[in-house]
Amino acid sequence: MAVLDIRQRSGYLFLGVILGHILLISAQVNSRAGVPVLETVTFGIFSEVQRTLSGGVSGIRHTWGNYVGLRNVKAENEELKRQLAALQVSMQEQRALADRARGFQQLLELRDHLALATTAAEIIGAAASPDFRTLTIDKGVRDGLRPDMAVIAPEGVVGRLVRPSARAAKVQLLIDRNAAAGVLIERTRAQGVVVGSGEDRLQMQYVSEASDLAIGDTVVTSGIDAIYPKGLVVGRVELVEKNGPAFKRIVVKPAVDFSRLEEVLVVLTPSPAKESASGVSE
């Protein structure tokens, strides 16, 4: 009966005998490394089993770790968000400090460049009414400031002091509708006066019909108004309209962006025109 079973299952018997032969051969033959093939194959098989088991265990540990980690991830996420918000605020503060330092550096460079005595001031406020284009700075009479002192920035003329108090002062911007300054065209030396319009542009008036004027010309202070020292940049000619030989309208774009001002320099040295005027009156 057993023989009959074996005969019916010749395939299994065949595989068993083949396996037996392979084991027999492997036990006698050495691999190139000098180790018996049987040992090499056995070690190889068991190492693969170990690798598989190790991979499985590692996978389970990884999965479990992720699951446990997920349980705390929400609180951690909230904490990280808080830290991120604090860092963003801190970064903005640092950036503001850096910008401020850069502004001071530009002011210092301008101060070194000018042969004028100046003092730096920080803008601490703007005009209370939109009809007036003024700023408030943190220096006043105690710091030697007087009315009609010129206020400048690295880009150009800002305006003049109109009402200094003990520790602060009001600055009338050049674009205020009551402001004016004597100017000349840097290229042709044509003279005129810029007046504020209450908007973001200046009007240049009293320009001779014979003057050579072109869009893009740089406009600088002439110094004849006894407020602004000569040669400070006011802006550039943006528009020229003529009515026959006469200039109908000349628009000047200010060099200073008044909306971005943070620090300014107040010129303490009186202009030569003012000094001579003072001398005459005395």
Applying CB under 8 A, the site for another protein has a residue count of 15
Q: What's the rounded Cα separation, in Å, for the pair 257 and 267?
A: 19
Q: H-type helices in 9-36, by residue range? A: 10-28
Instruction: Determine if 29 is a binding residue for another protein (CB under 8 A).
Output: yes
Smallest distance, another protein to C-beta of residue 43, A: 17
Cα dihedral 52→55→56→59 (10° resolution): -160
Among 25, 60, 87, 91, which residue interacts with another protein (rule: CB under 8 A)? 25
Instruction: Determine if 17 is a binding residue for another protein (CB under 8 A).
Output: yes
Instruction: Determine if 35 is a binding residue for another protein (CB under 8 A).
Output: no
Instruction: Determine if 113 is a binding residue for another protein (CB under 8 A).
Output: no
Segment interacting with another protein (CB under 8 A) among 19-27, 122-130, 169-177, 217-225: 19-27
Q: Between residues 17 and 96, which has the closer beta carbon with respect to another protein?
A: 17
Instruction: Find out whether 26 and 41 touch, Cβ atoms under 8 Å.
Output: yes
Concatenating the DSSP letter of every residue in 239-271 gives EEEEETTEEEEEEEEESS-GGG--EEEEE-SPP
Q: Between residues 12 and 46, which has the closer beta carbon with respect to another protein?
A: 12
| Helices 37-113 & 10-28 angle (0-180, nearest 10) | 70
Positions in the binding site for another protein (CB under 8 A): 6-7, 10, 13-14, 17-18, 21-22, 24-25, 28-29, 32, 37
